[in-house]
Amino acid sequence: MTITAAMVKDLRERTGAGMMECKKALSETSGDMEAAIDLMRKSGALKAEKKSGRIAAEGRVVIKLSADQKRAALVEVNSETDFVAKDSNFVGFAESVAETVLVDNVTDVAALANAKLASGQTVEEARAALVAKIGENIQVRRAQIIEAGEGQIATYLHSNNKIGVAVAYTGSEVELGKDLAMHIAANNPAGLDESSVPAERIARERDVQLDIVMQTGKPREIAEKMLEGKMRKFLAELTLLGQAFVKDPSVTVAQLLKNKNASVTSFVRFEAGEGIEKKQENFAEEVAAQARQAG
C-alpha cells in the first residue's frame, strides 16, 4: 500500500524516530501502525533517549495529602501533548510518583529518579517504559513538600489538573483554607509578603517606574511620592497578603486573615508547563527541507 506523509508523521510523533526509519517500518508492515511500532520497539531504550530532547510543555500536577493533613506533596509531570496528559497510564505514573515523594520525602528530581515506586520499579525505569509505550517525551519536572507546622494544610487542584496549590495556615475554619488555596490558584502571588519577593525583582521594577515618573516632569518631591505609590501598588498586587481577596475584592488577604484570626505560613503553587517555551514545528517545511537535502 502507499505510505503517506500523514502516516509517517503519526508514527514519528508516537516513536520519536526519524522520518526515513518510520517510512521503512511502515513499508515493512504494509502500513500497519501498531505492527510498525512493535517492529521499532527493539530499540525502545534508544527511542526514549531520542525523545528526551523534545519539548514536554503539557502535563499535569498531582497533590498527595497525608492522613493527618500535616504534609502535602506536589509533583509536576510533563508530556508533549495534552492528549497524553489525560492518558490513564500517564495519570497512574504521575500519581505513583507523587505518592513516593510524600512517603520517601524526596523532592530532588535527580534523586527521585532512583526512588522506588510501590510497583518496585524506580521512577526512571517506570518513566522510560512509559515513554516507549506512549511514544512521547515524559519528564518529572519538579516536586515539593509543604509542612503545616502548628496549623493545617488546604489544597486545591483545578479541574484541568494543570494548577495545584497547597497552603499551610492557622485558623479553625476549613472553608477559609479552601478559599485561600483557590485565591492562590487564581491570582498566582509571587510570595507571601514583601520579604519573600527577590530584591532584584523589586530593584528592577523600581528602575522602570523611576524612568516613567521622571518623564512626567513633576518636581522631585512629587515624583518621589509617585514612585513610592507605584511601588506599594506593585508589591500589593504581587504578594499574597497584599492582594485583594478574589471572593471579596473590598478586603485584602491580610485583612481577611486578621478578621478570621488566622495566618498563612507558606504556600506552593504549581502550574503545568509554566516557564517552558513551546516549540512550534512545521512538518511540511521539514519534509521539504529533507527533500532538498536528498536532491
Same domain for 21 and 97, yes or no, is no
Are the CB atoms for 196 and 265 separated by under 8 Å? no
- The total number of structural domains that make up the chain: 2
The larger pLDDT score, comparing residue 12 to residue 42, is at 12
**CATH number where 23 lies:** 1.10.8.10
Mean pLDDT of the chain: 86
Are the CB atoms for 162 and 273 separated by under 8 Å? yes
Q: What is the DSSP letter of 137?
A: -
Question: pTM here?
Answer: 0.72
44 within domain boundaries: yes
Alpha-carbon distances of 173 from 35, 114, 149, 153, rounded to whole Å: 57, 40, 17, 12
Mean pLDDT of 171-181: 93
Are the CB atoms for 160 and 272 separated by under 8 Å? no
| Residue 32 structural domain | 1-50
293 within domain boundaries: no
270-285: burial string, b at 16+ Cβ within 10 Å, e else = bebbeeeeeeeeeeee
Same domain for 77 and 45, yes or no, is no
Same domain for 67 and 41, yes or no, is no
Spell out the residues 6+ positions from residue 116 whose beta carbon is closer than 8 angstroms to its own. Answer: 100, 122
The Cα–Cα gap between 209 and 232 comes to 11
**CATH number where 76 lies:** 3.30.479.20
State pLDDT tens for residues 74-92.
999 999 988 999 999 999 9
272 within domain boundaries: no
Q: Which residue has the cell 511502515?
A: 26
Band of residue 20 on the pLDDT scale cut at 50, 70, 90: confident
Same domain for 19 and 65, yes or no, is no
Same domain for 64 and 132, yes or no, is yes
184 within domain boundaries: no
Same domain for 71 and 122, yes or no, is yes
294 within domain boundaries: no
The larger pLDDT score, comparing residue 203 to residue 105, is at 105
Same domain for 46 and 64, yes or no, is no
181 within domain boundaries: no
The Cα–Cα gap between 205 and 200 comes to 9
